[in-house]
């Protein structure tokens, strides 16, 4: 079964981490392009900035709790450094974002890059490896429709 990616009539929330802004700005551009391409109206998209990827789950939790959104897209970039900080931030962001989706029965797309270098992140934010922000936005739309189909079973 394939769910359609139409965004007509949907309201989408985007939580965007500012840290590694050269990367996350590109992820946001990709997400907004995808949402527009799939019919989500500009005035039906809310973008909320958070300091970094670690803060994405709390922001997504608050956004989900409003009941205003059909789906959320979380965007960020965690680049490995010389300390274990990477593992903690990446792991907690992933776990927290997944928890929000399950707790609110709401599609919450994970568009957080976890890379070893900034070059790898840029390649996945509109470079040679595509744009994971675009992909995350399409995933959110697909999941909205998939859950609606499954609910009818």
Q: Which residues are catalytic?
A: 85
The tokens describing 67, both together, are 């009941």
Bridge partners (DSSP) of residue 49 are 16
Give the whole-angstrom CA distance, residue 20 versus residue 51.
10
136 close to 125: Cβ distance less than 8 angstroms:
no
């Amino acid at each position: 079964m394939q769910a359609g990616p139409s965004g007509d009539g949907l309201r989408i929330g985007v939580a965007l981490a500012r840290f590694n802004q050269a990367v996350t700005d590109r992820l946001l551009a990709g997400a907004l392009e995808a949402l527009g391409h799939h019919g989500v109206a500009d005035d039906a998209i809310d973008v909320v900035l958070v300091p970094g990827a670690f803060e994405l789950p709390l922001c997504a939790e608050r956004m989900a709790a409003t009941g205003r959104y059909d789906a959320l897209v979380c965007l960020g970039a965690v680049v490995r450094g010389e300390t274990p900080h990477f593992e903690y931030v990446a792991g907690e962001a992933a776990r927290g974002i997944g928890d929000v989706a399950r707790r609110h029965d709401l599609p919450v797309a994970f568009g957080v890059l976890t890379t070893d270098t900034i070059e790898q992140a840029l390649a996945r934010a509109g470079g040679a490896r595509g744009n994971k922000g675009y992909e995350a936005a399409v995933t959110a739309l697909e999941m909205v429709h998939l859950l609606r189909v499954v609910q009818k079973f």
